[in-house]
């Protein structure tokens, strides 16, 4: 029997018989691996366990722990969900059911309105399907046969999808028992592989995300190969609900989203204290790192946006208006204004690197269905910076930005990982420019000893980029910081500088953010700390609680001394019992409470209670002030 060579992920080569399957390769390596394998990857293409390899190939065995393995596992789970719904509600029409981060969903068109109570009924039917151990089989049809099959089943959405496929496209289906679905695949070999699952919620979703189309019903779920993993995930989901920044934002009086401005956050006094504290820190870090700060207008004319390309490629996300019969737009990003600031005077190579930062207000039109608290808004503040430099300065500037972002994230206790995205197919610029840029980014990361994931072909069309994905205390990741090299805007805006040779040259530009959207970063912080901000970030750092009305005067004296030391302090002077005041302060997550009674007034002391450590007892006022001032100055993190 003919033999072929396969190269595994670890670089090892094996000689195997032609026609060997992914599952057989896993069994050849170890029984445990075979048990955990959910799919394979052959020459970069994800395939099912029964896929036969007939030529020399690079092979990667995928387990659930691999992202691509999770996709296969959860996409199969979405088919089990759809099969269960069709069994219970036969007149339901199927739309789409992809895997997503942490789970999957399926969109249905049904006259029956699903309720949360129905999810348990659907789950029981899914359990039956899993126990039936239905073999999942792939088959292909011609366009005509595929259309006929779906038309006979009355699956109008599948018919539309088939009609939109390019001519010559392979049209594949997957069958499990009586259930058939249009799908590219791959899938697990059988329904029995899905050992643990849970349906989570119901939502509305427009067909193809277009609000002009019919509103469908979307059922979300998640699944795992082990019940323990599901339990751990559900615990995190419940914990995330408690930490929901929308809920805490309201309770802590940080911000409001009002019907008069959906997607346009209103920051309340406590929220502005928090935001301004973040910006004070941001300015301190950037000043220390040699940045200058600028401000560009919120509204600029059409000519600018045509030059930048936004008028043609981003207009549907921009708010436009007429001023003096001329088209203007509210800026969706700060970059074009930054280019104009560069052009306000002639530049020399001696001016470089120029590190120009802006805390800029931007507006982008988002569909109402995707708006989400502070995480997805229509108006936000972006901590942009543009670094103008010479080619030989790229590596050092990248290293400088990476160190700055590391300093910022470490200050909040975030771990993070880095991804490097390289040249896409629709790129602009020469091969030499891209090679130089990508090499500089790689070398910078390697010299900093920053491990990174390589995303081949995923860079911006104007240059490669580095993305920073921070991890919060629940293990969720958020893409915030980014460093992008740009070849396009310097050309579009005809940016030049006078070089050593006296000739005009074009600078290279880095776009970078640390927080990203400051509003979104605040949302992440609220959930990361569960509203229990470290003292330096807290909008109210100390709450003074007089036991009775006669203790209010002494409380005011204590508060005045604290304010002189720049401590954010409030007095709860209500005629309420002290136990009630303490509980209220705890609910407001105030770092420190000071209880004032007869004893404290007589001895000129204070009684201190910590949010995180409980009763700290009687203290000298100045000693406490010294301690909290030091805590704020050093931006000490409290336990999360």
Q: 189-212 pLDDT, tens per residue?
A: 999 999 999 999 999 999 998 889
Summarize the confidence of residues 282-288 as an average pLDDT: 97
| Backbone dihedral region for residue 189 (phi beyond 0: left; psi -120 to 50: alpha; all else: beta) | alpha
Sheet holding 379-389, edge to edge: 292-293, 354-363, 379-389, 508-517, 477-486, 465-471, 415-421, 452-455
Beta carbons of 158 and 97 less than 8 angstroms apart: no
Give me the residues paired with residue 340 across strands: none
Task: Read off the pLDDT of residues 604-640 as tens digits, 9 standing for 90 and up.
Answer: 999 999 999 999 999 999 999 999 999 999 999 874 4
Residues 298 and 331 sit within 8 Å (Cβ to Cβ): yes
Residue 496 · residue 517 · CB < 8 Å: no
Q: Which residues pair with 479 in a beta bridge?
A: 469
Give the pLDDT confidence score for residue 640 in this predicted structure.
40
Q: Round to whole Å and give the CA distance between 198 and 119.
A: 9
Helix or strand run (H / E) with residue 230: helix 227-242
How far is Cα 221 from Cα 217, in angstroms, rounded to an integer?
A: 13
pLDDT at 366: 92
Residue 120 phi/psi, 5-degree rounding, is: -65, -40
The label of the residue with tokens 């502005």 reads 272
Q: Which of 206, 201, 196 is nearest to 221 (CA)?
A: 201
Q: Which residues contact 383 (CB under 8 A, 6 or more apart)?
A: 282, 357, 358, 359, 513, 514, 515, 516, 518
Tell me the per-residue pLDDT of 72-91, one tens digit each, with 9 for 90 and over.
999 999 999 999 999 999 99
Structure confidence at residue 49 (pLDDT): 94
**Alpha-carbon separation of residue 334 from 339, 356, 427, 448 (angstroms):** 9, 11, 22, 29
Measured CA to CA, the distance from residue 143 to residue 170 in angstroms comes to 9
Q: In which residue are the tokens 């779920």 written?
A: 221
Name residues whose C-beta falls within 8 Å of residue 115's C-beta, 6 or more positions apart in sequence.
202
Whether omega before 186 lies within 30 degrees of 0, making that bond cis, reads: yes
Q: Mean pLDDT for the chain?
A: 94
pLDDT reading at 462 higher than 80: no
Separation of alpha carbons 428 and 430, rounded Å: 7
By annotation, the residues acting in catalysis are 335, 364, 382, 384, 386, 465, 511
Q: DSSP code of 575?
A: S
What percent of the chain has pLDDT above 70? 100
Taking the C-alpha atoms of residue 207 and residue 123, their distance in angstroms, rounded to an integer, is 24
Share of the chain above pLDDT 90, in %: 87
Mean pLDDT across the stretch 425-430?
78
Each residue's pLDDT tens digit, 88-147: 999 999 999 999 989 999 999 999 999 999 999 999 999 999 999 999 999 999 999 999
Work out the average pLDDT over 315-340.
Answer: 95
C-alpha distances (whole Å) from 437 to each of 433, 464, 468, 528 are 6, 7, 18, 35
**Closest to 100 measured CA to CA, from 63, 73, 74:** 74
C-alpha dihedral (53, 59, 63, 68), degrees to nearest 10 = -100
CA dist list (Å): 387 to 355, 396, 400, 486, 511: 4, 12, 11, 10, 7
**d(Cα 50, Cα 271) in Å, to the nearest integer?**
55
Weakest-pLDDT range from 208-212, 337-341, 359-363: 208-212
Tell which residue, 441, 448, 426, has the closest CA to residue 394. 441
**Secondary structure string (H, E, C) spanning 115-127:** CHHHHHHHHHHHH
d(CA 534, CA 157): 51
Task: Write out the E strands in 71-169.
Answer: 93-94, 99-100, 103-109, 136-141
Q: Provide the β-strand partners of residue 216.
A: 205
Q: What is the pLDDT of residue 169?
A: 87
More confident site: 431 or 279? 279
Contact 389, 510 (CB under 8 A): yes
Tell me the per-residue pLDDT of 563-609, one tens digit each, with 9 for 90 and over.
999 999 999 999 999 999 999 999 999 999 999 999 999 999 999 99
Rounded Cα gap, residues 234 and 383, in angstroms: 34
Q: What is the separation of C-alpha 42 from the centre of its chain, rounded to a whole number of angstroms?
A: 30
Using the predicted structure, report yes or no on whether residue 552 has a pLDDT greater than 60: yes
pLDDT over 80 (residue 42): yes
**Cβ-contact 588, 572 below 8 angstroms:** no
Residue 59, pLDDT above cutoff 90 = yes
Tokens of 434: 């891209």
Distance CA 498, CA 354 (A): 14
Nearest to 351 by CA among 287, 290, 286: 290
Q: How far apart are CA 170 and CA 147, in angstroms?
A: 13
**Local structure of 532: helix, strand or coil:** coil
Question: pLDDT grade, residue 463 (50/70/90)?
Answer: confident
Decide: 221 and 197 in contact? Cβ < 8 Å.
yes
Q: Give me the pLDDT at residue 431, please.
A: 86
What distance in Å separates the CA atoms of residue 495 and residue 504, rounded to the nearest whole number?
9
The whole-model pTM stands at 0.80
């Amino acid at each position: 029997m003919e033999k072929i060579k396969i190269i595994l992920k670890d670089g090892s080569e094996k000689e195997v018989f032609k026609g060997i399957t992914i599952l057989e390769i896993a069994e050849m390596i170890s029984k445990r691996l075979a048990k955990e394998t959910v799919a394979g990857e052959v020459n970069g293409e994800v395939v099912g366990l029964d896929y036969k390899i007939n030529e020399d190939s690079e092979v990667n065995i995928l387990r659930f722990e691999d992202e691509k393995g999770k996709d296969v596992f959860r996409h199969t789970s979405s088919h089990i969900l759809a099969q269960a719904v069709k069994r219970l509600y036969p007149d339901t029409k199927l739309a789409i059911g992809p895997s997503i981060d942490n789970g999957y969903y399926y969109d249905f068109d049904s006259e029956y309105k699903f309720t949360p109570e129905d999810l348990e009924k659907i789950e029981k039917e899914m359990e039956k399907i899993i126990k039936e151990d239905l073999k999942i089989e792939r088959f292909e049809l011609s366009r005509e046969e595929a259309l006929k099959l779906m038309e006979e089943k009355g699956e109008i959405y599948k018919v539309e999808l088939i009609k939109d496929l390019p001519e010559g496209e392979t049209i594949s289906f997957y069958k499990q028992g009586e259930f058939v679905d249009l799908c590219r695949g791959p899938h697990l070999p059988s329904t029995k592989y899905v050992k643990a699952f849970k349906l989570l919620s119901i939502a509305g979703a427009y067909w193809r995300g277009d609000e002009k189309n019919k509103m469908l019903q979307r059922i979300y779920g998640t699944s795992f190969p082990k019940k323990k993993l599901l339990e751990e995930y559900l615990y995190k989901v419940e914990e995330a609900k408690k930490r929901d920044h929308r809920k805490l934002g309201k309770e802590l009086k940080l911000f409001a989203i009002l019907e008069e401005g959906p997607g346009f956050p209103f920051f309340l006094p406590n929220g502005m204290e928090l935001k301004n504290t973040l910006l004070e820190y941001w300015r301190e870090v950037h000043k220390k790192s040699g940045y200058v700060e600028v401000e560009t207008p919120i509204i600029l004319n059409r000519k600018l946006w045509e030059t930048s390309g936004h008028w043609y490629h981003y207009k549907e996300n921009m708010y436009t208006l007429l001023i003096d019969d001329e088209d203007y737009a509210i800026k969706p990003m700060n970059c074009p204004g930054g280019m104009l600031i560069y052009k306000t005077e002639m530049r020399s190579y001696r001016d470089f690197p120029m590190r120009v930062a802006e805390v800029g207000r931007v507006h982008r039109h988002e569909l109402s269905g995707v708006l989400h608290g502070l995480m997805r808004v229509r108006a936000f503040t972006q901590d942009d910076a543009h670094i103008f430099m010479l080619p030989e300065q790229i590596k050092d500037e990248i290293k400088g930005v990476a160190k700055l972002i590391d300093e910022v994230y470490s200050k909040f206790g975030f771990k993070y990982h880095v991804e490097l995205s390289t040249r896409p197919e629709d790129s602009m610029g020469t091969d030499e420019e891209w090679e130089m840029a990508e090499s500089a980014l790689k070398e910078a990361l390697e010299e900093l000893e920053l491990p990174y994931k390589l995303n081949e072909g995923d860079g911006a069309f104007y240059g490669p980029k580095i993305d920073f994905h921070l991890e919060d205390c629940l293990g969720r990741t958020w893409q915030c910081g980014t460093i992008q090299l740009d070849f396009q805007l310097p050309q579009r805006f005809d940016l030049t500088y006078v070089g050593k040779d006296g000739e005009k040259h074009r600078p290279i530009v880095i776009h970078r953010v640390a927080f990203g959207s400051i509003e979104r970063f605040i949302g992440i912080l609220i959930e990361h700390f569960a509203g229990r901000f470290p003292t330096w970030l807290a909008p109210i750092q100390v709450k003074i609680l007089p036991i009775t009305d006669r203790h209010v005067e002494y409380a005011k004296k204590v508060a005045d001394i604290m304010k002189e030391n720049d401590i954010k302090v409030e007095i709860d002077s209500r005629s309420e019992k002290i136990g009630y005041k303490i509980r209220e302060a705890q609910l407001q997550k105030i770092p420190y409470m000071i209880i004032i009674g007869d004893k404290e007034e007589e001895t000129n002391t204070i009684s201190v209670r910590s949010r995180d450590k409980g009763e700290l007892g009687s203290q000298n006022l100045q000693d406490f002030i010294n301690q909290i001032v030091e805590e704020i100055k050093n931006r000490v993190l409290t336990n999360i």
